[in-house]
């Protein structure tokens, strides 16, 4: 009797054994299955197929969700390593490898045991009771949203204990799938087909707009909605044409691509001697399948991206594939544009602002072998590419490569190194300011150290001026900007030049402090100071998301003598608008870039002046 070991997206460190019916005997590790788990039916991932089991009573797999294994053997091996190295449950690690929305799930819907509008109940219980009676069979989240989040589950439990409400599980499939749209296929021999049908020949002679569109689009597949709009044809007439074999109605999968609209002048680069030296070292043996790791220590402007492109060209020529990791979503349009100009292969993009459908299509394109290059932040590392020959971790020192806010926690740089070892690929870590550990490893021969200490355009590195803001304040300077900075900003703006100011704090002020007792409002969960946001006068924790209205009184001593300290991006924007009225000021931080294409809109506006 065959068995399977299954793991779930739950904080559980061991697998569960299920009996595998003969009708599912074709499956291998990496398939998703639907299995009973307690009183629920949930999705799990098969990780092993043992021949025997020591358990006497074993439940059976109910269904198999995939035509072929969703998790490939190499991805499963990588997931086992991440689970072991970072001490994370394997089932939760495997979620990194699956696009969101593919999981099947149970939805619990609520019903009344018996409807009694006159029933005596406490106010909140009565509200929920009547709500379920008016709209029975809806999900818990539906009623929670209608009722308000506060104490919803305790109210529901009270009704369940009284035997007034019960729930039924309804199985729901995946929330995302391929986007299929009806198209009109217009044949190449349309003219001869029409001549054989006197009725439609007369029809088209009276409809020149329809005839012109049909003949202009011979041998094409036109989206149904576009066809009807452009021709003005009634849907019934179109179906008659399809019935007479004059056209064909077909279903076609449409790929959803994230919008990339980065308008940058194309530049022709001649490789510098230091770039040629680095490329020659990395590509010393073209086509070799050997794991090697490099630390590319190159100053800003030395042309590291050009080096990545040239190395990738050689990897693709050898029939292998590449992953380019970048730390910030803001870099995606610029990076993708440069790589698209350099390569005619399909490039898949992954980043956090993509819709569920866009991510699904990109993932499926990788899984089906249509993609040779993947670009994106740390999540791009888990794209289902085969035969990887190159992994680039650009700006390898960046903290954004570390996932710390959810399980599993991991460092994409270290995962990239292990993935490169698995595929016998080259891994290039690039940075103008390498992390201490990468530089240490390079100095001790764990990585090959490559250096590019000159800018590609021979321009000198900028001069750095350090200003002691304590002295500025005592000399009567402004709170946020030094006199030196203001002088140079005035000079640049007088020349119609642009200015970029970097501030590593979002919000208006870093914290609120009482000048009477020194009390600073902190997050009860994280024990860090709450950041003040001026647009809604709130104090927020940037770790857990806790939010509370900013009080006019000290919660410790009741004093009204409060001060906001530490300038954030909101305060910088406000100060700049006061200093330079009428001058457009753009702010780019987490608060202004929540929208899908917000990064790109801000960068485009800045580039256009």
Lookup result for tokens 């394109």: 365
Q: 408: cis peptide before it, omega within 30°?
A: yes
Q: How confident is the model at residue 419 (pLDDT cuts 50, 70, 90)?
A: very high
**Does 273-452 match 105-172 at the fold level?**
no
For residue 184, the model assigns a pLDDT of: 94
Residue range 365-392, pLDDT digits in tens: 999 999 999 999 999 999 999 999 999 9
20-48 burial code (b ≥16 CB/10 A, e <16) = beeebeebebbbbbbbebeeebbbbbbbe
Rg (alpha carbons) of the chain, rounded to whole number = 31
Share of the chain above pLDDT 70, in %: 95
- 311, pLDDT greater than 70: yes
For residue 367, the model assigns a pLDDT of: 93
Over residues 99-110, the mean pLDDT reads 77
Residue 24: which region, alpha, beta or left (left: phi > 0; alpha: psi -120 to 50)? Answer: alpha
Q: Which of 282, 346, 336 is nearest to 312 (CA)?
A: 282
SS in 3 state form for 316-334? HHCCCEEEEECCCHHHHHH
Which residues, other chains included, contact 119 with Cβ-Cβ below 8 Å and sequence gap of 6+? 126, 129, 164
Residue range 142-155, pLDDT digits in tens: 898 888 756 788 88
Q: Report yes or no on whether pTM surpasses 0.75.
A: yes
- For 3-97, CATH gives 3.40.1440.60
Lookup result for tokens 């002691």: 468
The full set of domain ranges for the chain reads 3-97, 105-172, 187-246, 273-452, 500-607
For residue 593, the model assigns a pLDDT of: 81
Share of the chain above pLDDT 90, in %: 58
Which residues, other chains included, contact 507 with Cβ-Cβ below 8 Å and sequence gap of 6+? 531, 532, 533, 540, 542, 568, 569, 570, 591
- 170, pLDDT greater than 80: no
Specify whether the CB–CB gap between 408 and 93 falls below 8 A: yes
Tokens of 56: 């006497």
Q: Which CATH architecture has domain 105-172?
A: Orthogonal Bundle (1.10)
Q: Among 1.10.10.10, 3.40.50.300, 3.40.50.410, 3.40.630.30, what is the CATH number of 273-452?
A: 3.40.50.300
Residue range 442-463, pLDDT digits in tens: 999 999 999 999 998 888 888 8
Specify whether the CB–CB gap between 36 and 96 falls below 8 A: no
């Amino acid at each position: 009797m065959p068995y399977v070991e299954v793991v779930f997206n739950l904080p559980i460190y061991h697998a569960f054994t299920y009996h595998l019916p003969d009708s599912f005997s074709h499956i291998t590790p990496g398939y998703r299955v639907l299995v009973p788990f307690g009183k629920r039916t949930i999705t799990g991932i098969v990780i092993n197929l043992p021949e025997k089991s020591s358990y006497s009573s074993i439940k059976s797999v109910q269904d198999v969700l995939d035509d072929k294994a969703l998790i490939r053997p190499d991805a499963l091996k990588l997931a086992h390593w991440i689970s072991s190295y970072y001490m994370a449950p394997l089932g939760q690690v495997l979620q990194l490898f699956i696009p969101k929305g593919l999981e099947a799930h149970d939805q619990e819907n609520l019903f009344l045991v018996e409807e009694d509008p006159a029933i005596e109940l406490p106010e909140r219980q009565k509200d929920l009771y009547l709500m379920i009676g008016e709209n029975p069979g809806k999900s818990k989240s539906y009623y929670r949203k209608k009722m308000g989040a506060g104490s919803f589950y305790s109210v529901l439990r009270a009704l369940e204990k009284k035997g007034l409400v019960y729930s039924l599980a309804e199985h729901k499939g995946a929330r995302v799938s391929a986007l299929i749209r009806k198209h009109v296929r217009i044949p190449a021999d349309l003219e001869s087909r029409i001549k054989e049908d006197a009725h439609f020949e007369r029809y088209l002679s009276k409809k020149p707009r329809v005839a012109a569109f049909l003949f202009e689009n011979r041998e094409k597949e036109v989206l149904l909605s576009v066809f009807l709009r452009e021709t003005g044809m009634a849907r019934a007439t179109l179906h008659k044409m399809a019935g007479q074999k004059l056209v064909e109605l077909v279903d076609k999968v449409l790929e959803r691509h994230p919008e990339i609209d980065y308008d940058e002048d194309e530049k022709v680069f001649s490789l510098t001697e230091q770039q040629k030296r680095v490329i020659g070292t990395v590509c010393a043996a073209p086509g070799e399948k050997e794991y090697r790791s490099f630390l590319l220590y190159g100053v800003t402007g030395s042309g590291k991206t050009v080096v990545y492109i040239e190395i990738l060209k050689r990897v693709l020529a050898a029939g292998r594939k590449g992953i380019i990791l970048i730390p910030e979503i803001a870099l995606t349009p610029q990076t993708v544009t440069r790589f698209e100009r350099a390569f005619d292969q399909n490039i898949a993009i992954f980043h956090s602002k993509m819709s569920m459908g866009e991510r699904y299509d990109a993932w499926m394109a990788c899984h089906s072998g249509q993609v040779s290059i993947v670009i994106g932040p740390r999540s791009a590392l888990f794209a289902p590419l085969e035969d990887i020959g190159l992994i680039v971790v650009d700006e390898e020192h960046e903290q954004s490569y570390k996932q710390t806010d959810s399980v599993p926690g991991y460092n994409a740089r270290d995962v990239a190194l292990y993935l490169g070892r698995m595929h016998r690929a080259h891994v290039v870590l690039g940075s103008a300011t390498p992390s201490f550990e990468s530089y240490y490893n390079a100095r001790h021969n764990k990585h090959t150290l490559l250096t590019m200490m000159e800018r590609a355009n021979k321009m000198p590195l900028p001069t750095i001026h350090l200003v002691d803001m304590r002295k500025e304040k005592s000399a009567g300077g402004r709170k946020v900007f030094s006199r030196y900075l203001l002088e140079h900003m005035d000079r640049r703006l007088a020349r119609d030049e642009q200015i970029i100011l970097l501030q590593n704090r979002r919000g208006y002020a870093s914290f609120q402090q009482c000048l009477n007792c020194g009390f600073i409002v902190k997050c009860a969960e994280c024990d860090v100071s709450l950041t003040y946001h001026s647009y809604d006068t709130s104090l927020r924790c940037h770790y857990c998301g806790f939010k509370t209205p900013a009080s006019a009184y000290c919660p410790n001593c009741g004093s009204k003598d409060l001060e906001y300290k530490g300038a954030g991006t909101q305060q910088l924007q406000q100060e700049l608008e006061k200093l330079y009225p009428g001058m457009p000021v753009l702010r780019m931080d987490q608060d202004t870039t929540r929208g899908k294409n917000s990064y790109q809109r801000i960068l485009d506006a800045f580039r256009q002046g």
